[in-house]
A and B are shown apart, each in its own frame.
Chain A
Amino acid sequence: MGFLLRSLRCSKPLFRSYLSHPFPAHFRWISSSSALLRPESSVALAADPPPRTPVAGARVHIPNPDDAIEVFVDGYPVKIPKGLTVLQACEVAGVDIPRFCYHSRLSIAGNCRMCLVEVEKSPKPVASCAMPALPGMKIKTSTPVAKKAREGVMEFLLMNHPLDCPICDQGGECDLQDQSMAFGADRGRFTEMKRSVVDKNLGPLVKTVMTRCIQCTRCVRFATEVAGVQDLGMLGRGSGEEIGTYVEKLMTSELSGNVIDICPVGALTSKPFAFKARNWELKGTETIDVTDAVGSNIRIDSRGPEVMRILPRLNEEINEEWISDKTRFCYDGLKRQRLNDPMIRGPDGRFKAVSWRDALAVVAEVAHQVKPEEIVGIAGQLSDAESMMALKDFLNKMGSENVSCEGNGISPNADLRPTYLLNTNISGLEKADAFLLVGTQPRLEAPMINARIRKTVRATQAKVAYIGPPSDFNYDHQHLGTGPKTLLDIAEGRHPFCSTLLSAKNPAIIVGAKIFERKDKDAIFSAVETIAKLHKVIRADWNGLNVLLLNAAQAAALDLGLVSSPSESIRSAKFLYLMGADDVNLEKLPDDAFVVYQGHHGDKSVYRANVILPSSAFSEKEGTYENAEGCSQWTVPAVPTVGDARDDWKIIRAVSEVAGVRLPYDNLEAVRARIRMVAPNLLHVDERESSTVSVDMKPDFQHQMSLEPFEAAVENFYMTNSITRASKIMAQCSSMLLKK
């Protein structure tokens, strides 16, 4: 009893508190906050949101302070230059407006109506992507009117959109999916039948499910504006509106894969990637592309040991946000025809898989049996700078100077760096107003550079003149001639195009790398330099004399000094070390020559090899590549190596050790330290080293110029290297699109 009394006494304060307050503080009622109960005070709260940062780091550059105007986005003042649209002003203010048809690199269509916002003193919601921002405009993006307008537009868009997200390849990265979650209504009211549209055949790369199309016309605008083909268009009106090719026709553009990226829904998807993987199972690796000399920035999406797809990465300086079809769809070549074991050709002429130890021993033994000057090394067009450095060091230690890179022609001149680079830079080409293309077909050799030229031509009506074999251009151009004769005419000022060049403010001359292979290349280059001098192409503020290289390895090879002539040294070679060189002509090679092929694909040269050393492809290794404008970039391994393959420089390092001339580097950092001694610019990643010496320092050549016309550098755009030649998709493309 006493215990009970004591416990009651102890709990007394608690009881007392219960009794004294009818609604004690620790009772909480399930209701909205007190602020919400009083509407007028909630408005006051909402008027003070935290300041926002611009969408995706959007920056505005206001060149002239007088042109700046001030608009108010959700009550916040923003300073923007004149001419920006309401949508862009909102982006600067940090408000992301939903959109489907608007794309910053395409013209404005304003037909999806998703970007409706409320503007004060305007009777209706306005489409922000098409409305120019005016001074003092008060834009409201999250008012009930704007929200209701978005919900309504979304409901209309979803009316005729199939609900097949579970089987749609865009699922997970679909703009419509995301925006209907963020801005759509929470229920549908649609009970009628949906319309359906017949699928179109756009070729082997782009798969169409046209029922999913929401008629944003991004693909049509991309095709006409960026790709420069008039293949896609809008047919019909109203509910019968369809995107399609006007006549039954394939989309013949080297940039057609980009419509997959810009399509906000799953109407245009990748045909080779169809139903292969979901985007959330993929591992993205940000690396660069090596199929041409542009070095486009790409993201390799892989699942396990397999490259599933390749997507572009934004780089305003190089590829903006597009990549060519060859870059995008060459990935299945990485899975076919791979060399995975070291092999030795036996006396019966058949290859036998052996261990690395045996293969290296054979290579080292033969290398010591021949005379040093009979050792020749040729780097392939996909070699990275590290492996070329190792190859050159190895052969030099063996006593040979015959190291070259395929595609660089007869005794390349690497003394002056500007003589083999795109000195204007890719983004700098936009400032040019007259182009002279000498023996180069940029549409086939470097589609991204061609897209820049087309962009310039479209924006500024720049004049383009072309000397070379008949070729296909997707912009207005003058075909001046096919050979050096026209070049001479211009150099001597007789040609009518000279006046265009003279009147141009920023003339640009682009010389193709195929000219490197001509015997009279020095004469042609001196003619080009004469033209450059005559028309003030090289000034202090403008360097318009460009060379457009063909392969990813070329620039780095010239920087590192792989400058012998393969065509001459091959004739006397007894020991030929091919590092992925497949386009080199082996007909003149003596029959008793010992050929070591180090590479990742069983391509042309493998059939002549005596020993095969498997190496890793660009998607599997870390390597430095220098692109045509002299900007070095790194690849990053996305997938593991194949079979018993090893990195290129490691193989050469191992060969050198077995041969008794051990190279002094054991890891990548040490190789790069060695590169720093030879060509430090290769280590300045993502930087462009401007030239300090001018081309004037080059000695004059007075050789006779032969008048045979220029040759095309690329016969088949889709098959230029060992990876693309192994690819089935590229084979389909070349048979269907090029009819080869």
Chain B
Amino acid sequence: MVSVVRGLLKVVNEKGVGGFIKHLREEGYTKCLLDGNLLQTKLHNIGATLVGVDKFGNQYYEKLDVQYGRHRWVEYAEKGRYNASQVPPEWHGWLHYVTDHTGDELLMLKPKRYGVEHRENFSGEGDAYIYHSKGHALNPGQRDWTRYQPWQPAKS
């Protein structure tokens, strides 16, 4: 507790009161009042080790003296609408206790040629991926069932 208060005072000293309030807002502490989930994560973070930060800004914490299976977690960079699909694949394994290698270490395993950038799931956000069958008009790769080649008048 003392360390927490000392940390807070240090930040206030560095940034001033205005900067401190801005810092609180950016770090999502203001949202904690309405979002218990975030508040719980923030409370967990006290005394935990920050193992790494991925390219989206999600912070991965570990605390080995809590119950096994609850000792790794993520604090999402997005404080408002966070969801599990924001975790990139390289960190997924570490977060779900599949491996002890952190995402930064696993990043080198990412295939160079065909690996695509991670995108979070936008379902319900208006940018959802909707599967259209290959004959559907909205499928960009819709198959052309025309089996003839029309005459093109432009050639004349």
Contacts and interface: CB of A to CB of B under 8 A. Distances in A.
Contacts of B154: 350
Classify the interface of chain B: helix, strand, loop or mixed: loop
B149 A337 contact: yes
Contact of A336 (B145, B148, B153): B148
A642 B151 contact: no
A607 B150 contact: no
A602 B145 CA distance: 21
A606 B151 contact: yes
A351 B150 CA distance: 13
Enumerate the 8 nearest inter-chain pairs by beta-carbon distance, A residue then B residue, closest first: A602-B151, A351-B153, A306-B147, A335-B148, A340-B150, A337-B151, A336-B149, A338-B148
Nearest to A345: B153
Interface in A4-23: none
A95 to B, nearest CB: 44
Interface in B44-81: none
Interface string A330-346: 00001111111101000
A304 B148 CA distance: 12
Contacts of A343: 153
B37 interface: no
Contacts of A340: 148, 150-151
Nearest to A602: B151
B151 A338 contact: yes
Interface string A517-539: 00000000000000000000000
Contact of A338 (B145, B150, B156): B150
A340 B147 CA distance: 12
Interface string A247-285: 000000000000000000000000000000000000000
Contacts, number: 40
A335 B147 contact: yes
Given A305-B148, A351-B153, 4 more contacts: A336-B148, A350-B154, A602-B153, A643-B148
A207 interface: no
B146 to A, nearest CB: 8
A601 interface: yes
A341 B151 CA distance: 10
Contacts of B150: 337-341, 642-643
Contacts of B147: 304-306, 335
Nearest to A643: B150
B149 to A, nearest CB: 5
A338 B147 CA distance: 11
A350 B156 CA distance: 8
Interface string B126-156: 0000000000000000000101111111101
Contacts of B156: 351, 607
Report which residue of A334, A601, A602, A607 has the largest number of chain B beta carbons within 10 angstroms of its beta carbon: A602
A300 B148 CA distance: 16
A338 B153 contact: no
Give the bracket for the number of chain B residues in contact with chain A.
10 to 19
A334 B149 CA distance: 9
A336 B151 CA distance: 7
Interface in A324-379: 334-341, 343, 350-351
A340 B146 CA distance: 11
A335 B150 CA distance: 8
B38 to A, nearest CB: 58
A223 B22 CA distance: 94
Interface of A: 304-306, 334-341, 343, 350-351, 601-602, 606-607, 642-643
Contacts of A601: 151
Contacts of A337: 149-151
Nearest to A339: B151
A343 B151 CA distance: 11
A735 B109 CA distance: 55
A642 B146 CA distance: 9
A169 B30 CA distance: 73
A603 to B, nearest CB: 9
Contacts of A643: 148, 150
A305 B148 CA distance: 9
Contacts of B153: 343, 350-351, 602
Contacts of A339: 150-151
B149 A335 contact: yes
Report which residue of B150, B154, B156 has the largest number of chain A beta carbons within 10 angstroms of its beta carbon: B150
20 contacts: A304-B147, A305-B147, A305-B148, A306-B147, A337-B149, A337-B150, A337-B151, A338-B148, A338-B150, A338-B151, A339-B150, A340-B148, A340-B150, A341-B150, A343-B153, A350-B154, A601-B151, A602-B151, A606-B151, A642-B150
Interface in B2-36: none
A607 B153 CA distance: 8
A425 B61 CA distance: 96
Contacts of B151: 337-340, 601-602, 606
B92 to A, nearest CB: 43
A642 B152 CA distance: 15
A462 to B, nearest CB: 45
Contacts of A334: 148
A341 B152 CA distance: 11
Nearest to A353: B153
B139 to A, nearest CB: 20
Contacts of A351: 153, 156
A271 B7 CA distance: 82
Report which residue of B145, B152, B153, B156 has the largest number of chain A beta carbons within 10 angstroms of its beta carbon: B153
Contacts of B152: 602
A689 B90 CA distance: 85
A343 B153 CA distance: 9
Contacts of A350: 153-154
Contact of B149 (A304, A338, A606, A607): A338
Nearest to B151: A602
A607 B156 CA distance: 7
B154 to A, nearest CB: 8
Nearest to B156: A607
A343 B154 CA distance: 12
B156 to A, nearest CB: 5
A304 B100 CA distance: 57
A304 B143 CA distance: 15
A48 B156 CA distance: 76
Contacts of B145: 305
Contacts of A305: 145, 147-148
A601 B156 CA distance: 15
Nearest to A307: B147
A606 B147 CA distance: 22
A725 to B, nearest CB: 12
